[in-house]
Amino acid sequence: MEFTLKTFIFYGFALLTVASALVVVTVRNIVHAAFSLMVTLFGVAGLYVFLQADFLAATQVIVYVGGILVLILFGVMMTSGRLEMRLHIERGQLLLGGVISAALLMLLLTIIANTPKWKNLSDDGEQLEPTTRRIGELILNGQFLLPFEVVSVLLLVALIGAALISRKEVRD
């Protein structure tokens, strides 16, 4: 693979994603972790652009960065006093969790490297059409209509359930 500007930007995004995810799981201050998570989510959106999934990248930015991250920050503000902002980590648990995670990573990398079906699948740089139109057709007029309706009901249920669980209890 020749080293072009495109590969340079790809590795930049990959490095950004992995490094900020590492910060998310290691930093002590929970607000810093939340902002680092924002960088990770943006990095993943950039990788979606490289996969030519434009609609997916836009959805990632809107829903994750605009929605879930704000929700997480509100959660931090409403539940953490000044003392709880700094995370407390136990050394033994850190060691055990690190060993388990490292073993899992080794397993996954071995599988990825040794599956013959997945080798030599690379994009030859051809440009695909924008996906938004086809996604709209498939969801609203195609085989994904039923899942779309089901997921809309699920969102409504989650919304009502979240409001019901988190409100103050009224005793009568």
Counting contacts by CB under 8 A, is residue 123 touching other proteins?
yes
Counting contacts by CB under 8 A, is residue 35 touching other proteins?
no
Site map (CB under 8 A) of other proteins, residues 139-158, x = contact: x----x--x---x--xx--x
Counting contacts by CB under 8 A, is residue 42 touching other proteins?
no
Cα–Cα distance, 51 to 65 (Å, whole number): 20
Q: Kindly identify the residues of this chain, within the stretch 9-28, that bind other proteins according to CB under 8 A.
A: 10, 14, 17-18, 21-22, 24-25
φ, ψ for residue 86, nearest 5 deg = -90, 130
Site map (CB under 8 A) of other proteins, residues 45-84, x = contact: --xx-xxxx-xx--xx--xx--xx--xx-xxx-xxx---x
Query: Half-sphere exposure (CA, 13 Å, Cβ side) for 131?
Result: 16
Cα–Cα distance, 40 to 15 (Å, whole number): 10
Minimum separation from the CB atom of position 3 to other proteins (A)? 12
Counting contacts by CB under 8 A, is residue 134 touching other proteins?
yes
Beta-carbon count within 10 A of 145 CB: 12
Q: Give CA 151 to chain center in angstroms.
A: 19
